Amino acid sequence: MATRPKRKSPGETAAERREAATFLAALKRHGQVQKSDGPLKPGVTHVLKPAAAKGKSKQLVRKRFSAI
């Protein structure tokens, strides 16, 4: 028996957007985000990639882990 998705639309809810914004702010506060896709600086774990399509938000991509 197949399960159905609970939501019909693929859009984010307001709570999911707030959670994503809080997570990004925490990463920035701790110096774990880099804006360009060049060589990673020490302590950086995530890269912010520019929007692929017009109207889309930037994409946060984890590149490595950190043992803090």
- pTM of the predicted model as reported, rounded to 2 decimal places: 0.71
Per-residue confidence of the chain (68 residues) as pLDDT tens digits?
Answer: 667 666 555 677 889 989 999 999 999 999 999 987 789 999 999 999 887 777 677 889 999 998 76
| Structural domain of 38 | 34-68
Query: pLDDT at position 6, please?
Result: 64
User: Residue 60: exposed, middle, or buried by beta-carbon count in 10 A (0-12, 13-18, 19+)?
Assistant: middle
Report if residue 15 sits inside a domain: no
Return the structure tokens found at 59: 């994409």
CA distance 50 to 33: 13
Report if residue 5 sits inside a domain: no
What total of structural domains would you count in the chain? 1
Report if residue 65 sits inside a domain: yes
Report if residue 25 sits inside a domain: no
